[in-house]
Amino acid sequence: MERIALVSDVHGNLTALEAVLADIDRRGISRIFNLGDYVGKGPRGREVIDLCRERCEVNLLGNWDDFLPDPDRELDNEALRFWLDQLGPGQGEWLRALPFNHDFWLSGRRVRLFHASEETVHRRVRYVRTQAEFEGLFTHTEATGDGPVPDLVGYADTHDPLYECQLEGRTTFNTGSVGNCMGDPTPMYCILEGEVGSQEPAPWSVSFARVPYDVESELAVARAMGAPHYDGYELELRHGIYRGALTEWRSGEPMTGYHERGASA
């Protein structure tokens, strides 16, 4: 049995990433796959990219990784300019060249990993979704290519972990987020365990790990660097409440589920 750690949505939160990697090391896991969104929201995208390039065996494309360094996209606000300027030489090109998905066998299951959906990194599939959205996750598209049809799909993007199984054994799971998890803001990652590369049925599992970290240290760095939308960033990191709900939170209004707000992850 082999274990693979799946991390995602670090979003420039270096302190959280370092805590998660330390936990992965303590568990003796040597293989790490990253499902994307290294940058944006948090202040240290450059350092996150450097560390992920060093530690992650597989790195996949996220929506922020695609649109932030897009040379054909006009940056229409100072926040986006801050996050883009924080990237090091060549990092934008590296991000945009990342593969869309990664497929492999695990204990007789065909696994497919991608960031958001089977079609594009810019369309997310939330915890509350339609049956058509669920079934679509298992289909081949121009983005995924062909090959064996997956029956175990892992994705990220929503910052909202889940596990679901339906008929024919089709199973999906969402990794949550390392640097910007909603609901419970404690960093989260997944562990896949099984016979990697084997098409023969064998035991397998997916588990979720939460890793406390020094959130005060991360927020201090964000303040010192003049990170944009700091109040919203603080709300997300302290309380797991999407920054778009900052006004309601300040007013004392009851908070509804993150996935009901049309949040932009």
* Domain of residue 98, CATH code: 3.60.21.10
Identify whether 222 is part of a domain: no
Identify whether 248 is part of a domain: no
Identify whether 251 is part of a domain: no
Q: Per-residue pLDDT averaged across 187-206, rounded?
A: 98
Identify whether 219 is part of a domain: no
For 66-75, how does the pLDDT look when each residue is reduced to its tens digit (9 = 90+)?
999 999 988 7
Which residues, other chains included, contact 149 with Cβ-Cβ below 8 Å and sequence gap of 6+?
A: 110, 138, 139, 140
Taking a C-beta distance cutoff of 8 angstroms, is the pair 152, 112 a contact? yes
The tokens of 193 are what? 């365990």
Total domain count for the chain?
1
Interatomic CA distance for residues 125 and 156, integer angstroms: 9
Structural domain containing residue 205: 2-210
**pLDDT at 102 exceeding the cut of 90:** yes
Interatomic CA distance for residues 89 and 214, integer angstroms: 29
Greater confidence (128 vs 40) lies with 40
User: 2: buried, middle or exposed (CB in 10 Å: 19+, 13-18, 0-12)?
Assistant: middle
How high does pLDDT run on average in the chain? 94
Q: pTM here? A: 0.94
Identify whether 115 is part of a domain: yes
Identify whether 262 is part of a domain: no
Identify whether 86 is part of a domain: yes
**pLDDT at 259 exceeding the cut of 50:** no
pLDDT class of 167 with cuts at 50, 70, 90: confident
Amino acid (1-letter code) at residue 32? I
Identify whether 100 is part of a domain: yes
**pLDDT at 265 exceeding the cut of 70:** no
